[in-house]
Amino acid sequence: MKRMLVALATAGSVVLMGAPAMAADATPSPSPSLIGGSPATWSPLHAKRSESGKTITLVPEQAVLFDGFSDQARFTSSNPKVFVAKDAEGNGTYTAQAGGYAVAKGKASVTVKRGGKVVAHYVIIVK
């Protein structure tokens, strides 16, 4: 069965509409007929600071943005061969949000510190 995805462009914005069968699964998994191509092209998942302790399940190349952290927070992955974590970047005028991406199957922990104090922790499972 073919699935249909319709894009509507109105006043400078794009709205994607698809069949209910296209709703996102809680645990994404790649398939030979992957809708949307590479997971690197998907919208990133979001992990809030208030969700510290959360387990995040990804597929290789899928991205995560960490919400609610200052640009002084430092993100460290326990296993960069599984998940690469990136600090926020900025100079006070602008800030690129902290995030990361899945590299290969496995498990990693992301620890977030500010001033040497742990302020959040996430478990990353890449399937």
What would the mean pLDDT of 55-61 be, rounded to a whole number? 94
User: Which pLDDT score, from 0 to 100, does residue 10 have?
Assistant: 38
What would the mean pLDDT of 100-121 be, rounded to a whole number? 96
User: Which pLDDT score, from 0 to 100, does residue 34 have?
Assistant: 52
Greater model confidence, 74 or 91: 74
Rounded Cα distance between 55 and 43, Å, is 18
Q: Which pTM value belongs to this model?
A: 0.69
Residue 121 falls within a domain, yes or no? yes
Rounded Cα distance between 7 and 3, Å, is 13
Confidence of residue 2 (pLDDT cuts 50, 70, 90): very low
Report the chain's mean pLDDT, rounded to a whole number. Answer: 79
Residue 30 falls within a domain, yes or no? no
Confidence of residue 82 (pLDDT cuts 50, 70, 90): very high
Residue 52 falls within a domain, yes or no? yes
Residue 104 falls within a domain, yes or no? yes
Q: Which two tokens stand for residue 56?
A: 């995040």
Q: Which two tokens stand for residue 55?
A: 């387990």
Greater model confidence, 50 or 23: 50
Q: What is the CB neighbour count within 10 angstroms for residue 3?
A: 10
Q: What's the length of the chain?
A: 127
Specify the amino acid at residue 117: K
Rounded Cα distance between 45 and 57, Å, is 10
Domain count, the chain: 1
| CA-only gyration radius of the chain, Å | 17
What would the mean pLDDT of 87-97 be, rounded to a whole number? 78
Q: Which two tokens stand for residue 34?
A: 């992957």
Terminal-to-terminal C-alpha distance of the chain: 26
Q: Give residue 44's domain range.
A: 39-126
Residue 84 falls within a domain, yes or no? yes
CATH of the domain at 49: 2.60.40.2020
Residue 1 falls within a domain, yes or no? no
Q: Which two tokens stand for residue 48?
A: 């809030």
What would the mean pLDDT of 14-32 be, rounded to a whole number? 47
Residue 45 falls within a domain, yes or no? yes
Residue 26 falls within a domain, yes or no? no
